[in-house]
Amino acid sequence: MTKTFAGKSMKKTFLGMFALMSATSILFNSCNQKKDKKESLKPVPEDHPVAKIVPKLSDEKVSSDKRVIYLTFDDGPNCGTENLLKILHKRNVCATAFVVGKHVYGSSKQQHDLELLRKDQLVELANHSFTHAHNRYTDFYRNPAAVVHDFDTAKDSLRLYDRIARTPGRNIWRLNNITVTDLKSSKEAADQLKQAGYKVVGWDLEWKPTNKMELKEKHDEMLKKVDSIFFNDLEKTSRHLVFLTHDQYLNDGDSMNELDLFIEKLQKSNRFVFRKISEYPKINEVLN
């Protein structure tokens, strides 16, 4: 596996100071947008602490004592997509939805959910292929030209023209400053995606499911993993963590509650800010 990481910063001791932070602190610069009103989404109470107007990324720099988290959700639109939107609106945080073409055209409900995602200012869309490799990943990556065609089909049919992409079933990165291939057999396909202009983004931390397709770990376990990654400088780009889970894991009340608590406690720690993946460092540089 080839890895070329961006420059790393020294480990910060502030990560051990979590217990000293005020539990009532709010996140000053989470992604805040003026949201469209939708009857399908629960309104955010006016007195909710994170519903206040806060600066956008362009208005200020992320201070050195903060870490950036990119919430990303794969395989939508799917069962759980509307539940995801409810959580994002409740906590007023942004996220990136990596959508699958065949899921969009799977039903009228899924087409409707795509439009909810597309119109929502807290969400941006990115490319997760058209077929999701037909869930036959080894065969899919044996034909690099077909892989590129599959992503092109999703790009054109779903109007995903910024070319930010994530490979199905593989944790692959292809940016100017990051090259990671989890399985060697996928390397040629990944390289051809980059040559075709795709900015391929993997992840630093995944919240995996149980056999029942529910979120496996509890939120406090995931918070410890976040701290561990930052403390040990294991993220691909220092101070920036890409988090992954899937829409379909948010189809039960317990999983929804765990994700909600995870985001809430990240916010209350006052140590993190949330960004869309299009704001990841150097992602918009022209690929070499």
User: Do residues 69 and 276 lie in contact, with contact meaning Cβ atoms separated by under 8 Å?
Assistant: no
In the predicted model, is pLDDT for residue 143 greater than 90? yes
At 63, the pLDDT band (50, 70, 90 cuts) reads confident
The pTM score is: 0.81
Q: What is the pLDDT of residues 225-282, one digit of tens each?
A: 999 999 999 999 999 999 999 999 999 999 999 999 999 999 999 999 999 999 999 9
Share of residues in the chain with pLDDT > 70 (%): 79
Give the per-residue pLDDT at 5.
41
Give the per-residue pLDDT at 31.
52
Token readout for 117 is: 């995602």
Q: What is the pLDDT of residues 69-117, one digit of tens each?
A: 999 999 999 999 999 999 999 999 999 999 999 999 999 999 999 999 9
Q: How many CA atoms lie within 13 A of 190 on its CB side?
A: 26
Give the per-residue pLDDT at 198.
98
Please tell me the CATH superfamily of domain 68-279, with its number: Glycoside hydrolase/deacetylase (3.20.20.370)
Q: Which residue has the higher pLDDT, 245 or 44?
A: 245
Task: Transcribe 169-233 into DSSP letters.
Answer: T---EESSS-EE-SSGGGHHHHHHHHHTT-EE---SEE--B-TTSSB-S-HHHHHHHHHHHHHTT
Cβ neighbors of 55 (< 8 A, separation 6 or more) are 28, 29
CB count in 10 Å sphere of residue 140? 23
